[in-house]
Amino acid sequence: MLSQGMEKLNFNLEVTEHGNNPFDYWIVDNFLDYNVAKDISQQFLNYEEEEWVGYDGWIAKKKICNKWDRFPPLTYKTFFNLLSDEFTERVSKMTGCEPLYPDIGLHGGGWHMHTQGGNLSVHLDYSIHPKMNLQRKINLILYLEEGYESEWGGDLELWSHNPEKNKPGHCVKSIEAKFNRAVFFDTTQNSWHGVPSKLNCPPGKARKSFAVYYLTELSNTAVDRFRAHYVET
């Protein structure tokens, strides 16, 4: 619950596109007030700063930071609002997934950044939260690089599931990393996803995003997976 001293931010949840192939997803454009989104975009740490956790291999080439004490005030406030009970309830109503609980520890979430050559192999997210004994259910990714061009790559790809090989099949849906676009998707439906192609953005530009996750009660079909599962495609 938001404290009385914390300013409430307005989030647009008017769905631009909803689909269920290869699994449920919701796209919301103009998620934040434009000026708020612009200001947040400018608050990301420089890519070279040491607070980032970096990945540089076939699994991924990117950096993330989920340290609350490193978030500038507006960024902190935005994450706080996204993880509030009120907004979590709105996400629950939009997706039809009840109940949902916010991952206030931002396990695997927070700031994400890809620069030139960056990628993220197709994968399944962890299924069971390692600290909370809850099942991961809904991902929220918010794109925050103003002026990001589609020809630079960086689309979020949603892949089908090959049940015979228990691997991803082929890319079914590609979602552009458009500024101020929020993408929600269900992670419990053999939800293979990633950014497998290397980015070709120019120096000084990056694929910036927020990542927030919402959890639910353990289901009888929950897979005993505490870490993300990556494959080469």
Q: What's the structural domain count of the chain?
A: 1
Per-residue confidence band for 162, with pLDDT thresholds at 50, 70 and 90:
very high
pTM of the model: 0.96
Tell me the mean pLDDT in the region 62-84: 97
> Is the residue at 2 inside a domain?
no
With a cut of 90, say whether residue 75 has pLDDT above it: yes
Distance CA 193, CA 176 (A): 13
Q: Share the mean pLDDT of the chain.
A: 95
Instruction: Print the domain residue range for 67.
Output: 17-45+54-210+223-230
String of b and e for 159-186 (b: at least 16 CB within 10 Å)? bbbeeeeeebbebbbebbbbbbbbbbbb
Q: Degrees (nearest 5) of the Cα angle 28, 133, 18?
A: 20
Give Cα 48 to chain centroid, integer Å.
22
Q: Degrees (nearest 5) of the Cα angle 82, 146, 109?
A: 35
Query: Strand, coil or helix: what is 103?
Result: coil
- Which CATH number fits the domain that encloses residue 112? 2.60.120.620
Q: How many CB atoms lie within 10 A of CB 20?
A: 9
- The encoded tokens of residue 77 equal 């406030």
> Is the residue at 3 inside a domain?
no
Distance CA 130, CA 125 (A): 12
Tell me the pLDDT tens digit for each residue of 80-104: 999 999 999 999 999 999 999 999 9
pLDDT of residue 233: 84
Tell me the pLDDT tens digit for each residue of 109-161: 999 999 999 999 999 999 999 999 999 999 999 999 999 999 999 999 999 99
- The encoded tokens of residue 92 equal 């629950």
pLDDT of residue 37: 98
Per-residue confidence band for 6, with pLDDT thresholds at 50, 70 and 90:
low
> Is the residue at 33 inside a domain?
yes
> Is the residue at 12 inside a domain?
no
> Is the residue at 29 inside a domain?
yes
pLDDT of residue 68: 97
- The encoded tokens of residue 230 equal 């990556």
Tell me the pLDDT tens digit for each residue of 27-61: 999 999 999 999 999 999 999 999 999 999 999 99
Q: Give residue 168's identity as a one-letter amino acid code.
A: P
> Is the residue at 218 inside a domain?
no
With a cut of 70, say whether residue 165 has pLDDT above it: yes
pLDDT of residue 5: 56
Tell me the mean pLDDT in the region 201-207: 96
> Is the residue at 217 inside a domain?
no
With a cut of 80, say whether residue 229 has pLDDT above it: yes
> Is the residue at 198 inside a domain?
yes
